[in-house]
Structure 1
Amino acid sequence: MNTLLEILESRLLTALSKAGIDLPVGFPVKIFAAADVRHGDYQANTAMALAKRLKMNPRELATQVVDALEVDDLADLEIAGPGFINFRIKSETWSQKVGQLINDPRLGVGSVAEPQNIVVDFSAPNVAKPMHVGHIRSTIIGDSLSRICRFLGHNVTTDNHIGDWGTQFGMVIYGWKNLIDPVAIEADPLQELLRLYRAVNLLCKEEEAIKDECRDELVKLQNGDAENFAIWEKCVEVSKVGLNKIYDRLDVSFDHWLGESYYNSELVPLVKALEAEGLARESDGALCVFSGEELPPKQDPFKEKRDGEWSDFPMIVRKGDGAFNYATTDVATVDHRLKQWNADKIWYVVDARQSLHFQQLFDVSKRRGCKAKLEHISFGTILGKDGKPLKTRDGDLPQLADVLDDAVKSARTVLEEKSGDLPVEEKDELAKMIGIGSVKFTELSHHRSSDYIFDLDKMVALQGDTAPYLQYSYVRVRAIFRKLEEEVTLDADGLQITEQGEINLARTLSKFGEVLPTVLDDLKPNILSNYLLDLAKAFHSFFEACQVLKSEGDVRKSRLVLCELTGRVLQQGLGLLGIQVPERM
């Protein structure tokens, strides 16, 4: 189904041709939703943009275009200001559009004409440590983008590239051999592994000899030492169990868990290939990739300024002690994703602080012939109420399990106040749905590059721009249908969308198919979140202005269709954000 926006743009393009206007090569013919509906529903500034190039009066050019524009079956036209073309959609058009939507399982959202193979790398916690609050953003953003991509028709492969092979394992293995508490490792393995890591990390700062021993343990592991490998396997095993408990709570899953260790056998031949390709050379005992010298120093990720002079800042792919690092693994990972999954795009949903690493990785990959589009989907920081990065009283990052527990508890408190008559078991399930949904929506309603304050009281509130507000909006829709005393056929026959409240809601519903694809333009789920808030507000305004159950005939049916569509779009849209909706609250 074509959206109104697509239909109008096609008609505008035809009108330009009919008016004899030659478009410059690559000139975009775009129509936009009007910022102020008092001026219409859609607006085009094409005439003004073209007039500059053609050296014409923009209003005269707009008049020529409007004279050739055939949209009488859809909208009324007017020319405003210096040459804006405004489209005011007719009420019968809204009736037809709503009729199309009620019969469309995709709710007006088309599928992409050319599906691409997109690999989404997200979450990626380190093994042997519990997930902390810093993993919220990558996990939730990555999951939502994956869901939206799949819904739009792309072939998506999700990969949890866990940190299961790195420096921390030298410390963990040393701790396992020297400091382990046998009772604790059985009772709560992830917490005990975290304790070991912290204890050994402290010892390394105090004693250089222990730091050397940890380094030796890591090298032994990387060289296949049987004892160290067995300890490592146990760490990975118990870590995955703990991680999956969190992912189950978040309703997040992955197609693959190909951690750093998966690529071990590829690293030696990869480094040899980098040398043979002339990309890597030895420097101070380490093997490094240096600048290709094709970019200005300010834009070159392999350059840094020291004492006013530009110096080399290479990517190390083999350390002086012979060990490999995550940069080496990431280059191998790109190779794998290209060869095995035929990736057209690879998205890395990772903290903005890793931007330099990804600039180097993408540069190296491009020099090695990578044709796929590699993109770092960066994000900001979660802040406490004091405006500083969120931490516990001890100065540590809060563990993600604790954050989710607190969100569920806060939601349970609100339910006790607002829905005290519900059965205890139902309130418990609702608290999970609302609490987890609140954490997700708070994340996804902010621009991903911005920081935001983690405030549970605001997040679980029924009023405001929150998940509970949207969930309640869905519940309010379903309550209407529970009150029906008879079966109603919800189809396109006889629909009448005439009242302003009806038109406003129909307009917002029709934009679902227009808005959703734009999420992928800049990879910003907050565009969908903001749309859903607009839809909920349009529905509540409609519900206050237009009687539903007390109306009659085609008017009643039309309003019930609008309600049904609102429920479907809220459920689908929130589902694409990874948020569930309850039937009652």
Structure 2
Amino acid sequence: MTLIQDLESRLSAALQQVLGETVDAPVVAATDLRFGDYQSNAAMALAKQRKANPRALAQQVIDALDLGDLGSADIAGPGFINFKISPATFATRAQAQLADARLGVPDIGAGRTVVVDFSAPNVAKPMHVGHIRSTIIGDSLARISRFLGFKVITDNHIGDWGTQFGMILHGWKTLLNEDALAVDPIAELLRIYRDVNATKEQPGVLDTCKAELVKLQAGDSENLAIWQRCIDVSKAGLQKIYDRLDITFDHWLGESYFNDRLASLVDEFLDKGLARVSEGAVCIFSDETKPPEQDPFKVHREEGWTDNPSIIRKADGGFLYATTDLATLEYRVDEWKADEIWYVVGVPQQLHFRQIFEAAHRWRKKGEFRHIAFGSILGEDRKLMRTRSGENVGLIEVLGEAVERAAAAIAEKNPDLTGDEAKEVSEIVGIGAVKFAELSQNRLTDYVFAWDRMLALQGDTAPYLQNSFVRIRAIFRKLDGPFDPSGVALHLTEDAEVHLARLLARFGEVLPQVLDDHRPNLLANYLLELARAFHSFYEACPVLKSEEPVRSSRLALCELTSRVLSTGLGLLGIRCPERM
């Protein structure tokens, strides 16, 4: 049980004693430590409901409150209840964290299955900087959810079917360079696609591409073989990037996996009256049960509110993303028994997912479906990040640049690091910097991709956190032998010690909050606050030069801090080197 949970339980008991009924009693970490460690406005809210005096009710609650040896409580302002936790309680909590493999994090997800849909690049095209956000946010949410006890299924719903394959098939048969394909398959597939696309206005080219696509969709053996080879070489190329990012998927069920389900899905929607034919196409319209401003199948134009249907079969018989996404959602609910499905996809797809989720609920598919949207990555000119030629910056180039810059910085700061160790540390620091630059932002905001700031050893960066971990481990390397914190009794007398233990206790409170609105930046910001608290502690409180039992107590605090830092960074997908 976290401190917040303990306080909420005790506060609820006091409120029940005073009011004679069970009520919610939310407690939050205090924003100003001068007034306490935690606070609650429960008495104020309940007094307003009952037209009572909030300070008087707060005093009644405090009189009935049994905090045991946790600390003390008092009233502030119009009726806030502030809690001051004793140093002894923080010491006890830190000792419990050291003995707990979960570091005090509650198991809140037991019995629930979550499917996380993220990354999802198109095959035959390289991943670009725009894929950073979906890939890194999705991976961190999957890691955090697993740690919180959820059964997590990750699915890379790649774009492996569609009209682009007509051009790729034509290019494969007429323009392919097998040697280039062997060296860099995705680059070669992109080249032939672009070359065909550049000639599509020439007589007969588009017709040829359409004919190749029709043959593929009809099951032509030659085109299916070429398509499968495109998939295989693309997956191999993508896997190299995922390996470098230390990201894995449980499944790669792309669009093609659901082809056989689309026709019957459309028939079912027609049979159940969930869709109807309009101008030859099959469309899902509003069911007129919601106010128009809340209805994803309505749009406001000059003439007022009008229909905004989702097409699931075109007039020519073709299917669309909406059809595939509905079939995918059905599979995840029916086959994987998903309680929740999270789609980590950019803001521009907001309307699409609102329509998909509304259609799914009308279809009686049970579950919580969430679109975890995110903004854009900007260059230092505050425009969308592009190459000089105006193209998207390749993700593999971004990662390579990050590692090169990290290597240069490390060589300057620590020339003793050489060879394979220097190479490995550069990889850890460079990739970690890219990830943390993403995960320290509110996912809905656009942010500027700035190399120098991202790789700085000071400031809100991954290298700063990694260096904090390295500094802690360096303390233990100076000991004559291994340090075992299990039998150490912690005693917190200095303010810096108490504050560090206070933040360590909050690890188990912050992690569940990440999932309230799917914001990994809450964890990133917590780790920065923890690292700053450690540096203040390290400056104010000598560790190795202290006498016993203070020395062992402070070593135990250092050990716990390093565990929380490395675990927290690991949940963001970031590794910690032993040296930098």
After TM superposition, the score normalised by the length of structure 2 is 0.97
The one-letter code sitting in structure 2 at the alignment partner of 1:525 is: P
1:202-281 superposed matches below 5 A: 202-204=198-200, 206-207=201-202, 209-281=204-276
The aligned residue for residue 165 of structure 1 is: 161
Change (3 A) 1:208 1:442: farther
Where 1:341 maps in the other structure, the secondary structure is coil
The aligned residue for residue 437 of structure 1 is: 432
Residue 149 of structure 1, CA deviation: 0.6
Residue 257 of structure 1, CA deviation: 0.5
The aligned residue for residue 361 of structure 2 is: 366
The one-letter code sitting in structure 1 at the alignment partner of 2:158 is: I
Mapped partners of 1:254, 1:8: distance in 2: 39
Where 2:138 maps in the other structure, the secondary structure is helix
Where 2:538 maps in the other structure, the secondary structure is helix
* Residue 572 of structure 2 is aligned to residue 577 of structure 1: yes
The one-letter code sitting in structure 2 at the alignment partner of 1:33 is: A
Residue 114 of structure 1, CA deviation: 4.3
Change (3 A) 1:137 1:113: closer
The aligned residue for residue 28 of structure 2 is: 32
Where 2:154 maps in the other structure, the secondary structure is strand
Instruction: Encode CA deviations 1:10-46: one digit per residue, 9 max, x unaligned.
Output: 11111112224545xxx53111111111111111111
Mapped partners of 2:160, 2:98: distance in 1: 48
The aligned residue for residue 151 of structure 1 is: 147
The one-letter code sitting in structure 2 at the alignment partner of 1:194 is: L
Residue 372 of structure 1, CA deviation: 0.8
CA contact (8 A) 2:4 2:509 kept: yes
Instruction: Encode CA deviations 1:144-187: one digit per residue, 9 max, x unaligned.
Output: 00011111001111100000011211121122123323332233
CA contact (8 A) 1:221 1:229 kept: yes
Mapped partners of 2:198, 2:391: distance in 1: 15
Select which of 271, 278, 293 maps to 1:298: 293
Select which of 122, 134, 137 maps to 1:138: 134
CA contact (8 A) 2:109 2:145 kept: no
The one-letter code sitting in structure 2 at the alignment partner of 1:410 is: R
* Residue 77 of structure 2 is aligned to residue 78 of structure 1: no
**RMSD across aligned positions (CA):** 1.5
CA contact (8 A) 1:40 1:89 kept: yes
CA contact (8 A) 2:286 2:297 kept: yes
Mapped partners of 1:493, 1:238: distance in 2: 55
Instruction: Encode CA deviations 1:498-534: one digit per residue, 9 max, x unaligned.
Output: 1101000000000001110110000110000000000
Residue 426 of structure 1, CA deviation: 1.2
The one-letter code sitting in structure 1 at the alignment partner of 2:528 is: L
Instruction: Encode CA deviations 1:371-417: one digit per residue, 9 max, x unaligned.
Output: 11111001000000000010000101011100000000110111011
Query: After the TM superposition, which of the residue ranges 207-216 and 502-511 deviates more from structure 2?
Result: 207-216
CA contact (8 A) 1:352 1:379 kept: yes
Where 1:85 maps in the other structure, the secondary structure is strand
Select which of 109, 112, 118 maps to 2:108: 112
The aligned residue for residue 13 of structure 1 is: 12
Where 1:10 maps in the other structure, the secondary structure is helix
Select which of 387, 395, 403 maps to 2:398: 403
Mapped partners of 2:128, 2:29: distance in 1: 40
Query: After the TM superposition, which of the residue ranges 472-481 and 282-291 deviates more from structure 2?
Result: 282-291
Select which of 498, 501, 509 maps to 1:503: 498
Select which of 172, 176, 183 maps to 1:176: 172
Mapped partners of 1:43, 1:56: distance in 2: 20
Mapped partners of 1:359, 1:113: distance in 2: 25
Change (3 A) 1:17 1:307: closer
Change (3 A) 1:306 1:210: farther
Select which of 114, 118, 122 maps to 1:126: 122
Residue 55 of structure 1, CA deviation: 1.5
Residue 207 of structure 1, CA deviation: 4.0
CA contact (8 A) 2:488 2:556 kept: no
1:298-337 superposed matches below 5 A: 298-337=293-332
The one-letter code sitting in structure 1 at the alignment partner of 2:544 is: L
The one-letter code sitting in structure 2 at the alignment partner of 1:505 is: L
1:457-496 superposed matches below 5 A: 457-491=452-486, 493-496=488-491
Instruction: Encode CA deviations 1:327-372: one digit per residue, 9 max, x unaligned.
Output: 2111111111111100111110011111111111111111110111
Residue 64 of structure 1, CA deviation: 0.7
Change (3 A) 1:60 1:310: closer
Mapped partners of 2:20, 2:76: distance in 1: 20
Where 1:19 maps in the other structure, the secondary structure is helix
Mapped partners of 2:541, 2:106: distance in 1: 30
Mapped partners of 1:554, 1:350: distance in 2: 52
Residue 291 of structure 1, CA deviation: 2.0
Where 2:486 maps in the other structure, the secondary structure is coil
Residue 574 of structure 1, CA deviation: 0.4
CA contact (8 A) 2:344 2:373 kept: yes
Gaps of 5+ in 1: none
The one-letter code sitting in structure 1 at the alignment partner of 2:115 is: V
Total equivalences in the alignment: 580
Mapped partners of 2:61, 2:226: distance in 1: 74
CA contact (8 A) 2:12 2:24 kept: no
Mapped partners of 1:313, 1:215: distance in 2: 29
Mapped partners of 2:538, 2:474: distance in 1: 12
Mapped partners of 2:315, 2:246: distance in 1: 42
Mapped partners of 1:293, 1:274: distance in 2: 17
The one-letter code sitting in structure 1 at the alignment partner of 2:270 is: E
Mapped partners of 2:351, 2:122: distance in 1: 20
Residue 70 of structure 1, CA deviation: 1.2
Instruction: Encode CA deviations 1:461-503: one digit per residue, 9 max, x unaligned.
Output: 1011000000000001100000112444312543211110100
Where 2:199 maps in the other structure, the secondary structure is helix
Mapped partners of 1:399, 1:244: distance in 2: 15
The one-letter code sitting in structure 1 at the alignment partner of 2:475 is: I
CA contact (8 A) 1:166 1:326 kept: no
Select which of 387, 391, 411 maps to 1:392: 387
CA contact (8 A) 1:9 1:30 kept: yes
CA contact (8 A) 2:310 2:322 kept: yes
Query: After the TM superposition, which of the residue ranges 498-507 and 307-316 deviates more from structure 2?
Result: 307-316
The aligned residue for residue 377 of structure 1 is: 372
After TM superposition, the score normalised by the length of structure 1 is 0.97
CA contact (8 A) 1:74 1:93 kept: yes
Where 2:122 maps in the other structure, the secondary structure is coil
Query: After the TM superposition, which of the residue ranges 309-318 and 256-265 deviates more from structure 2?
Result: 309-318
Where 1:153 maps in the other structure, the secondary structure is coil
CA contact (8 A) 2:488 2:552 kept: no
Instruction: Encode CA deviations 1:75-100: one digit per residue, 9 max, x unaligned.
Output: 12221111111111112112211111
The one-letter code sitting in structure 1 at the alignment partner of 2:53 is: N
Residue 296 of structure 1, CA deviation: 2.7
